[in-house]
Amino acid sequence: MTSTIDPLAGLTDPVAGTAIDTLRFATAGSVDDGKSTLVGRLLHDSKSVLADQLEAVERYSQSRGQQAPDLALLTDGLRAEREQGITIDVAYRYFATPRRRFILADTPGHVQYTRNMVTGASTAELAIILVDARNGVVEQTRRHAAVAALLRVPHIVLAVNKMDLVGYEEKEFDRIVADFAGHADELGLPGFTPIPVSALVGDNVVDRSARMGWYAGPALLEHLETVPVGGDVTREPARFPVQYVIRHDEVRYYAGQLASGSLRVGDRVTVHPSGETSTITGLDVLGEDAAVAYAPQSLTVRLADQLDVSRGDMLTAGPDAPALRQDVSANVCHLADRPLRVGDRVLVRHTTRTVKAIVKDLGGAAELAANDLGHIRLRTAEPLALDDYAVSRRTGAFLLVDPEDGATLTAGMVELG
């Protein structure tokens, strides 16, 4: 695998389809599954680690008395992480091959850091769930699969690591894959791609391994390069949360980023929550007049009528209207150290809108602690224009925020039911 980067990649016409796109993916693994080593190997073998970075790792590895450079040090960026030899926080890594650009959210695996995996998975189009071939599917693995299912990560890879320590045996691999498939079914995962690897040695990470002739599938990087990304914008509902109103020469330009679908000049749009309607007279995509705009472009919209539209409102078009709700049901992951309790007064941050709310129910539980996955019912002070999270990861997602100190408390995924 070479990693010669075309210096002019990305300068070609994007609409012609020749420009490279980006895959955002996340990794999760239990302590000692070798996740950081896998990520280090991916970066190292795709030649994304530059000489001075490798030198720094070698220097530090030697100072700790290690023989070979510890590739985990490429991602464990905080002093506490290097000292404890574990990943604590989400680290974002960037690399590119001639076929694609990658943004990797490297997340810790331990249960006390479930919230970090939730964070990494929220923007990922693919999640790599790592298991140790000697241990197979463990409690942590099931939790990672549950998080990926909950966050609706479209593509899952089951990377069975440390194959070198089980003699590269096909039956060991098959046993783990079958075990995981059972859980995937229960969780409603859409499917997954199992790959046998050895991160330490490099088998099936960047290049296909000669030591596992029984495996006919792609190496991990090959799979990452070819998995399809992006949704079908023509089938998504058009959702445009207004971020900011630009006034210039008596004209109002509604600025925002299309959360899903597409908008055209001439489209009839509805403003939520007011319910007023108007027609799009102009679209401007960052300096270009456009007849049509697609998610996730940032743009401005002009309307035929003088309406009272401001930050927090949502413009929608097409037949599938969002649900206007003050009673909100959702799956949640609690993120903050302080617990969330029934009766708590919170702020709900949904798209560009922030409203007050009260926690009515926590799926029967009295409270949720940090890293708990659960279910919530909220009553909001004003209606929200909601989609089911299964339909839209943008307009179906929200955060709960502490009105006192502004802390981010809980991540929510709407269930319209």
Is 91 a binding residue for another protein by CB under 8 A? The answer is yes
CA-based nearest residue to 255, from 305, 322, 313, 304: 313
Q: Determine if 116 is a binding residue for another protein (CB under 8 A).
A: yes
Closer to another protein at the Cβ: 93 or 155?
93
What is the torsion angle, in degrees rounded to the nearest 10, for the CA atoms of residue 112, residue 115, residue 119 and residue 120? 30
Q: Which is nearer to another protein, 8 or 68 (CB)?
A: 8
Binding flag, residue 25, another protein (CB under 8 A) = no
Question: Cα separation of 102 and 304, whole Å?
Answer: 41
Residues 34-53 close enough to bind another protein by CB under 8 A: 50-53
Q: If residue 62 lies in a helix (H) or strand (E), which one and from where to where?
A: helix 51-63
SS3 150: helix
Pick one of 20, 127, 128, 189: the residue that binds another protein (CB under 8 A).
20
Torsion angle of the four alpha carbons 79, 82, 83, 88, in this order, in degrees rounded to the nearest 10: 80
Residues 6+ apart with CB under 8 A from 183: 137, 141, 142, 145
Residue 29 vs 412, nearer CB to another protein: 412
Q: Are 129 and 148 in contact (CB under 8 A)?
A: yes
1, 181, 187, 229: residue in contact with another protein (rule CB under 8 A): 229
Q: Which of 296, 305, 369, 381 binds another protein (CB under 8 A)?
A: 296
Q: Which element (helix H / strand E) includes 120? A: helix 114-122
Q: How far is the CB of 346 from another protein (least distance, A)?
A: 12
Minimum separation from the CB atom of position 38 to another protein (A): 17
Parallel, antiparallel, or unpaired for β 193-196 and 268-272? unpaired
Q: Which residue number, 277 or 297, has a Cβ lying nearer to another protein?
A: 297
The secondary structure of residue 291, as a DSSP letter, is S
Q: CB of residue 314 vs another protein: minimum separation in angstroms?
A: 14
Give me the torsion for CA of 383, 151, 334, 368, rounded to 10°: 90
Q: Which of 146, 255, 290, 416 binds another protein (CB under 8 A)?
A: 255
* Ranges within 50-89 binding another protein (CB under 8 A): 50-53, 56, 59-60, 74-80, 82, 88-89
Least Cβ distance, residue 201 to another protein (angstroms): 24
Nearer to another protein, 56 or 138 (CB): 56
Binding residue for another protein, selected from 179, 253, 382, 415, defined by CB under 8 A? 253
CB of 178 to another protein, least distance (A): 33
Q: Which of residues 339-398 bind another protein (CB under 8 A)?
A: 349, 351-352, 393-394, 397-398
Cα 394 to chain centroid, rounded: 11
183 binds another protein (CB under 8 A): no
- How far from 14 is each of 17, 18, 231, CA to CA, in Å? 5, 6, 17
CA 61 to chain centre: 32
Binding to another protein (CB under 8 A) within 318-337 occurs at: 335
Of 39 and 212, the one with the shorter C-beta distance to another protein is 39
| 255 versus 358: smaller Cβ distance to another protein | 255
Choose the binding region for another protein from 14-22, 166-174, 314-322, 373-381 (rule: CB under 8 A).
Answer: 14-22
Nearest to 29 by CA among 123, 126, 103, 138: 138
Asked if 16 and 52 touch (Cβ cutoff 8 Å), the reply is no
- Give the x-and-dash track for 189-218 against another protein (CB under 8 A): ------------------------------
